[in-house]
Amino acid sequence: MENKKCIYCGSPQYEERRTDYLYSYKGNYLLVPNTPVEICLNCGMVYFDAKVLKEIERRFFAIQKKTEKPDSYVELPQVAFA
């Protein structure tokens, strides 16, 4: 994030990293490992590039419409709270 400051704390210091991103829509999920992010080194605020998020959304809906296939499937356990 060149010449930008964190909108939360105002720090100009960022680090590029990769993380797992979980996209959800109407009870359906897409896990996207190795997603690029920028993280504020002062407060930890996470910033995703809009192009990255749009591509994740595009791929999610393509998989839902069965025009693309996911790389793999994972099993997700579910437990109700209370």
Which whole number is the average pLDDT over 41-56? 96
Residues of the chain with pLDDT > 90: what percent? 84
With a cut of 50, say whether residue 38 has pLDDT above it: yes
Sheet holding 46-47, edge to edge: 14-25, 28-40, 46-47
Which whole number is the average pLDDT over 66-72? 96
Which whole number is the average pLDDT over 15-31? 95
Claim: this prediction has a pTM higher than 0.85 = no
Beta strands, E only, the chain = 14-25, 28-40, 46-47
Burial code of 45-73, b = ≥16 C-beta within 10 A, e = fewer?
Answer: eeeeeeeeeeebeebbeeeeeeeeeeeee
- Residue 63's nearest CA partner among 73, 53, 48 is 73
CB 29 within 8 A of CB 53: no
With a cut of 80, say whether residue 62 has pLDDT above it: yes
Which whole number is the average pLDDT over 37-55? 96
Tens-digit pLDDT profile for residues 1-15: 457 899 999 999 999
User: Domain coordinates of the chain in residue numbers?
Assistant: 1-47
Could you please state the CATH topology (level 3) that the domain comprising 1-47 is classified under. Ubiquitin-like (UB roll) (3.10.20)
